[in-house]
Structure 1
Amino acid sequence: MRIAQVAPLWERVPPPAYGGIELVVGLLTDELVRRGHEVTLFASGDSQTLAKLEAISPKALRNFETDVDPTHFYYLYLTLEMNRVCELSSEFDLIHSHIGFPFFPCANLTKAPTLHTIHGTIPVSEEHLWKAARQQNFISISNNQRRNDLGLNYLATVYNAINTKNFPFHPQPDKPPYLAFLGRMSPEKGPHLAVKIAKRTGLLLKMAGKIDPCDQQFFDTEVKPFIDGQQIQFLGEADHQMKCDLMGRAMATLFPITWQEPFGLVMIESMAVGTPVVAMKMGSTPEIIAHGRSGFLCNNLDECVAAVESLGEISRTDCRDHVVANFGVRQMVDGYEAAYQQLLQQKFMGDGHTKTIHQLKSFQRLSA
């Protein structure tokens, strides 16, 4: 099957550090190639992929220094990307977009059916755009993420994944024990709540994550004053190796979010290395954490503190087994292939073209 994967341009695919969407796109694209599909990845020129790379920008936009307004700069390259996809659309059996609503107009112009994975939440300011495109084809990354009130045409829920082979198992935490926090230094991710949990338990907290310009004031006022280099430590932005060490050696990873998190790769990354997760029961967390087996789901800070004190009940082997069974690359790509087949079947039923019959039979041979 000939598949176009359309990635965001802000980070490369896969990202060198932070970048959940680009990580998922990289895993999906490479596995589709391994399964025999012909895949073209539309992404930044510094991306690393087994697919044919259609480079839209020389490098990830995050690494550009420019005097142009960042929003205008981003949409300039986004327009170039969409124009290129439309130009080549006749070469694909299916187009899979990961860039959200900006791709909606392009999907109406392409010669191949388009599928959109919704990687984030839909803010109120964008609802009218999604309603207008509700008959297009959508994938949710958790059931909680779904906006049924908008009447979107969801084909399936496909959970994000990680390559568990890249996350070495840690059978025991370090001594003296410590708590880990990994994520953006933003109010939604709850680093300030992680600090409070550490203070109340008396445990060392090691934190890592990037600070976006829009979150600098929050970090400076709500987190930085508590970083003493002793009990509360901030390690900066983590690469993959640092991420595995930080979470793998911890007694628990804190995930005290304050918003409806649509997925949260940190949770499965932590459990994959054997470390249970203490999370707020919000958004997708009940779909990802097996309460009492791979971590704890909490309603408030008091319950988070109590959960930390109950970590001895959790088997680190069970944590990893939970991820291997539910959030591996095979499971994710199986889900997307099923959605692709469903979309082609719909197109076949809708237009009856001989070409579509050939596409469907080719896909079924590859999936056998």
Structure 2
Amino acid sequence: MRDTLRIAIVASSRYPIAQPFAGGLEAHVWHLTRALTLAGHEVTLFAGAGSDLPVDSDRLRGELFEPSAAARSDVSMPQLEALQDHHAYLSLMLSFTNNPGDYDVIHNHSLHYLPVAMGPAVETPMVTTLHTPPTPWLESALTLAPGTRCVAVSRHTAQSWSHVLGDIPVVHNGVQLDRWPAGPGGDDLVWFGRFVPEKGAHLAIEAAQRAG
């Protein structure tokens, strides 16, 4: 086996992997892609346009799918962006299926259902990192593809998927420790994050109130 791997990293089709990051998923993929590239691997990033990484990227959307007038007039026509997401991931997964020798491993970070649903048809080894608790379409796909290799970014995320996947490994998001040195400390309390229940802002407020 050669030391250099050809790695395909699949991210969001809507958001570039660039600073300022849209969220933790994009930040993690940015750092992971850079680290793998610096380690000497050949990395191809499939993500939304505008990524600022020194790798072959912006390949997920390709040419945006534009439905015909007849298709647009059908009562089943979904939101255009959702249809374009579907077309982008369908095209990508078919390319993986039809060209199994292009990559040594595929690392899926997207929240779309198609990479998971079509993963069993791909010969190339693929792992999916789950960044969030269950969403309806992704849960549906994983229910029908229980053999999918998955890891979770936290114990909370792994537990939230246990009803579908059982026990899965946890691989925490990496942190560049030299960018986050320990400070001198102080009397103030700080919480930051996205305002959703699982981030625990309410617990931070309660702790601050108890501390006076």
TM bucket (normalised to shorter chain) is: 0.7 to 0.9
Structure 2: which amino acid aligns with 1:103?
Answer: P
Q: Report deviation, 1:86.
A: 2.9
* Aligned twin of 2:134: 122
Question: Quick check: 1:13–1:22 contact (8 Å CA) kept in 2?
Answer: yes
Question: Quick check: 2:117–2:144 contact (8 Å CA) kept in 1?
Answer: no
Q: CA RMSD in A?
A: 3.0
Aligned partner of residue 102 in structure 1, secondary structure: helix
Pairing of 1:72-221 with structure 2 (within 5 A):
72-87=80-95, 89-90=99-100, 91-100=102-111, 101-123=113-135, 127-144=139-156, 145-146=158-159, 147-151=161-165, 154=168, 156-173=169-186, 177-202=187-212
Instruction: Provide, for residues 276-297 of structure 1, a one-character-per-residue CA deviation record: whole Å limited to 9, x for no partner.
Output: xxxxxxxxxxxxxxxxxxxxxx
Q: Report deviation, 1:192.
A: 4.0
Fraction of identical pairs, as percent: 27
105 and 41 in structure 1: CA distance in 2 versus 1, 3 angstrom threshold: same
Aligned partner of residue 55 in structure 1, secondary structure: coil
Instruction: Provide, for residues 79-121 of structure 1, a one-character-per-residue CA deviation record: whole Å limited to 9, x for no partner.
Output: 3144134325431122111114331233234342221111111
Q: What TM-score, normalized to structure 1?
A: 0.45
Partners of 2:137 and 2:93 in 1: CA distance: 27
Specify every segment of 5 or more residues in structure 1 that has no aligned partner in the other structure, as ranges. Answer: 59-68, 203-368
Partners of 1:5 and 1:137 in 2: CA distance: 15
Q: When the two structures are aligned, how many residues end up with a matched partner?
A: 188
Aligned partner of residue 124 in structure 2, secondary structure: coil
153 and 78 in structure 1: CA distance in 2 versus 1, 3 angstrom threshold: farther
150 and 77 in structure 1: CA distance in 2 versus 1, 3 angstrom threshold: closer
Q: Report deviation, 1:34.
A: 1.6
Partners of 1:48 and 1:86 in 2: CA distance: 26
More helix by share: 1
Pairing of 1:10-25 with structure 2 (within 5 A):
10-25=14-29
Specify every segment of 5 or more residues in structure 2 that has no aligned partner in the other structure, as ranges. Answer: 63-76
Q: What TM-score, normalized to structure 2?
A: 0.73
Structure 2: which amino acid aligns with 1:9?
Answer: S
71 and 181 in structure 1: CA distance in 2 versus 1, 3 angstrom threshold: farther
Instruction: Provide, for residues 221-264 of structure 1, a one-character-per-residue CA deviation record: whole Å limited to 9, x for no partner.
Output: xxxxxxxxxxxxxxxxxxxxxxxxxxxxxxxxxxxxxxxxxxxx
Partners of 2:106 and 2:43 in 1: CA distance: 10
Q: Which runs of 4+ in 1 moved over 6 A?
A: none
* Aligned twin of 1:55: 59
Question: Quick check: 1:11–1:19 contact (8 Å CA) kept in 2?
Answer: no
More strand by share: 1
Question: Quick check: 2:109–2:129 contact (8 Å CA) kept in 1?
Answer: yes
131 and 149 in structure 1: CA distance in 2 versus 1, 3 angstrom threshold: same
Structure of larger gyration radius: 1
Question: Quick check: 1:14–1:47 contact (8 Å CA) kept in 2?
Answer: yes
